[in-house]
Chain A
Amino acid sequence: MKAKFDREAFLQAANVVNTVVPTRTPRPILENLRLTLSEDKARLQGTDLEALALTVEVRGVHVEEPGDVLVPAAQLVQMLRAMTDEEVVFEGSIQGVSLRGEHSEYELPAEDPQLFPEVASFEEGESHQMQAGSLRQLIERVVFAAAQESFRYAMNGVLWELDGEKVRLVATDGRRLAIADGIAVPHGGHKAQGTPVVPTRAMTILERHLGDPAEPVFVRMRSQDCMFKTSRLTLQARLVEGRFPPYREVIPKAVIAKATLIAGPFLAAVKQAAVVADPERGSGVDLTFQKNKVILEATSQDRGGRAKVQLPIEYSGEKIEIRFNPRFLMEMFAVLEPDQEVLFEFQGREKAAAFRAGNDYLYVVMPMSREAG
């Protein structure tokens, strides 16, 4: 097999696939990438066999002789990174392969591709179609709220709800909840089976490597796994097992006060106050809504610092107070456009509060109790 690659493009593709290659595994064969050359196409594949499998098309390739081979992932990336040539020639067989530039040449061992697990391909058929730009926004708006380690529920991932032409992504860590709605067009009567929860890692990998915003992305949810396909990338991920918490029950219904915030200035004000807050020790940021302004206050218990920030807003109700972990607010407001209007909904100082950005983004946060602080 033999092909001429654009080095940058080859390196980039190898880097992407390398994110799913396990570094410590009882099956060393998985530490390889599978490179398949066919007429004018090169494809890199990697999998950890447990959670993720990724296939990427390499751009800027000129195939002279098709073939199929396994190469050690870490070495391939290191070599491509070390080379300075614009173009590299890849040549070899399962006995060994070489990478040749103008002034440098590397040789590395190879393995038989028959030993590599079969990675499912995304053949035509049932799926939902989305736009890359909108999918990226949806993921960005919820993924930060997913749990790092959860015990009771399947919260280590993002819930996907596909209903007709609507798609909803939900993530929660048990203290805050993010819900983002978008559009997905079903093809061939595709439906999600059950309530698929996609692992957080799969979501972040996908988000990072989505290309042109107008490009279509195909989504397929199956009983055990899910698949995403763009023009150059196919990602397969095992779904998170278990029950997603009953999130609809915690969306605020008995709202007693509302205020309108502008994302940019509010984020800046929270950041200012958060300098002295220490939520891990029970001191969050206190928000006091008064006529046409909100006051953010924080006190550091250990070191005795204190912050007070005032922000003019549209608010005409009675004075209300609530305490939040500032990180929860900053993470949400950071994904919004600075001029986005956000509607704040208040139910009570120890009850869930909601932030709504437009009709398609809802963020519910549980406050911190003032008694414990």
Chain B
Amino acid sequence: MHCLPETYPSNSVYKYTISGSASGASAHVALPVSAKLGARDFRLGLDSWTGETPQRLVLHLDIDAFFASVEQLDDKRLRGKPVAVGTGVVASCSYEARRWGVYTAMRLSEARRKCPELIVVPGRYPRYEMIAQQLLEVCQRFTPVVESAALDDFYLDLGAADEQAGERVGRQLREWVRDVLHLSLSIGAGANKLVAQVATHQAKPGRQVQVFPGRERAYLAPWSVTILPGVGPAAARQLYRLGLRRVGDLTQVSGQLLEGLFGWPGRCWYWYAHGLDPRPVIAQRQPHSISRRTSFDPPEADPMFLRAMLTYLLERAASWMRFVRRRALGLEVFVRYGDGQGSSRRWRVRPATNHDAELRAYALEGLAALLQRRLPLRLLGVTLSPLQAETGQLALFCEPWQQRQQRLQQCKDAIRQRFGFLALTSGEELVLLRQLEHDRDRLVLRTPCLTR
């Protein structure tokens, strides 16, 4: 049996209290510890600064070869064999495949060349999502501050917990994932997100690495600079030319130099190299854009079918957008034609909206314009971006038709939540139900979106 906590222990988020009174009013303002961490702490040069940083412990969790492991778990025949998940590019690959030199984001054709025995499966996003959700819920029993950075990628802020607590939480989580999910979990622990994330690299597969407080800088020093967030191939080349290959090398130059060369990211790398990372763990990371797409093989030319598919993709995106309490300020429809060329149409949506009907009008107009090329489509998708938070600000002048629309939308969402997404479809979408496999919740698409 696993002894997981029922609820998280009361954590000491509120540390500073300012009280005062003015004009007969009394005020009480509490600020969290993370709000105190700002650029001003670093102004005088990191080496000379000896002040105390509020100690915190961050855990980074990553399931090893997530998609591929789930496929191997569900299908005995795949176990012990090189497996890759994805269409077009490798979204995830098993450790057996990695031995052949296959890695994530590699083109599938290249992966097959490297490993002729590679078994490629398209992937089942809903299944992965379900497992990730289970893990998220377990994490939330330890702390309310759990950030889901990617589907199987979590940060836990354990507040001022000590190393033993970190070790204990990590062990419990790994045992739970091993015994309940039958997967392997790697955990990195450290004083901030960066250190925890780098430690996870070292922990793979299936172990836990803990960086002790005060050792962050020394721990990061031997790693290649490419481990730092924001250092891509171009920046890495430039750093190499300067002789800066290891993270530790960055502490030998000044922050001003790095900022001068790379702008603000350069300044951040300088901090990172000193083992400092002020990025807070954010419990609910709000999306900046929401995208849904699918591909067609053979390419699809029927405008009726494409319109229906676009409506379906859009409604899926929009219902997720409403779930995370956002409104769209813009919408983009993108396609790839049969000849491989891509194209897109963008609209500014003002005022921001979360209504299916309004967004659909923009999307269909975009599709009509894109179909002018009279070529079948290989890929069709829609992106809602930028997004604006639902503020709850009520309107003074609400016309009756708008109120009706609003109520209709709410009813639709409620029905779909209870009886499945496909419990309600427009007449236009019936063509999809006839042609594609589906369950009560979703159509089985050739390429489901593998990112959030």
* Chain A positions near chain B (C-beta within 8 angstroms): 149, 151-153, 172, 174-177, 245-246, 250, 264-265, 268-269, 272-273, 275-276, 279-282, 284, 302-312, 323, 325, 350, 352, 364, 366-373
Contacts and interface: CB of A to CB of B under 8 A. Distances in A.
B397 A153 contact: yes
Nearest to B392: A372
Interface string B354-391: 00000000000000000000000000000000001111
Given A280-B391, A304-B35, A306-B14, A312 B24 contact: yes
Interface in B22-59: 22-32, 34-35
Given A272-B25, A280-B388, 10 more contacts: A246-B397, A272-B29, A304-B35, A306-B29, A311-B25, A325-B391, A366-B395, A368-B392, A372-B325, A372-B392
B32 A303 contact: yes
Contacts of B351: 151
B397 A174 contact: yes
Contacts of A172: 396-397
Contacts of A281: 389, 391
B334 to A, nearest CB: 26
Given A279-B393, A350-B394, A304 B13 contact: yes
A264 to B, nearest CB: 7
Contact of A174 (B25, B31, B388, B395): B395
Nearest to B399: A152
A199 B26 CA distance: 41
Given A175-B395, A304-B13, A307-B29, A149 B24 contact: no
22 contacts: A172-B397, A245-B396, A265-B24, A269-B25, A272-B25, A273-B27, A282-B390, A284-B392, A303-B32, A303-B280, A304-B13, A304-B34, A305-B35, A308-B29, A310-B27, A366-B393, A368-B392, A369-B394, A370-B392, A371-B392, A372-B390, A372-B391
B266 to A, nearest CB: 26
Nearest to A273: B27
Contact of A245 (B23, B25, B397): B397
Contacts of A284: 391-393
A273 B27 CA distance: 8
Contact of A310 (B13, B26, B390): B26
B350 interface: yes
Interface of B: 13-14, 22-32, 34-35, 280, 282, 325, 350-351, 388-397
Contacts of B13: 304
Contacts of B280: 303
Contacts of A350: 394
Contacts of A325: 391, 393
A308 B394 contact: no
Contact of A265 (B25, B35, B395): B25
B391 A279 contact: yes
A172 B397 CA distance: 10
A151 B351 CA distance: 8
- Which of B23, B351, B392, B395 has the most chain A CB within a 10 Å cutoff? B392
B34 A303 contact: yes
Contact of A373 (B23, B392, B394, B397): B392
Scoring B14, B22, B23, B393 by chain A CB atoms within 10 A of each residue's CB, the highest score goes to B393
Contact of B25 (A305, A306, A309): A309
Contact of B396 (A273, A305, A309, A364): A364
B35 A303 contact: yes
B396 A174 contact: yes
B347 to A, nearest CB: 14
Nearest to B16: A305
B29 A275 contact: yes
Given A268-B22, A282-B325, A305 B30 contact: yes
Contacts of A369: 392-394
Contacts of B24: 265, 311-312
A147 to B, nearest CB: 10
A308 B397 CA distance: 32
Nearest to A296: B25
Contact of B28 (A264, A279, A308, A352): A308
Contact of B394 (A149, A175, A307): A175
Nearest to B389: A281
B209 to A, nearest CB: 29
Contacts of A264: 23
A329 to B, nearest CB: 13
Contacts of A246: 397
Nearest to A268: B23
Contacts of B282: 302
Given A272-B22, A282-B390, A372-B390, A305 B395 contact: no
A276 B391 CA distance: 15
A309 B394 contact: no
Contact of A306 (B30, B34, B388, B391): B30
Contact of B350 (A151, A269, A366, A371): A151
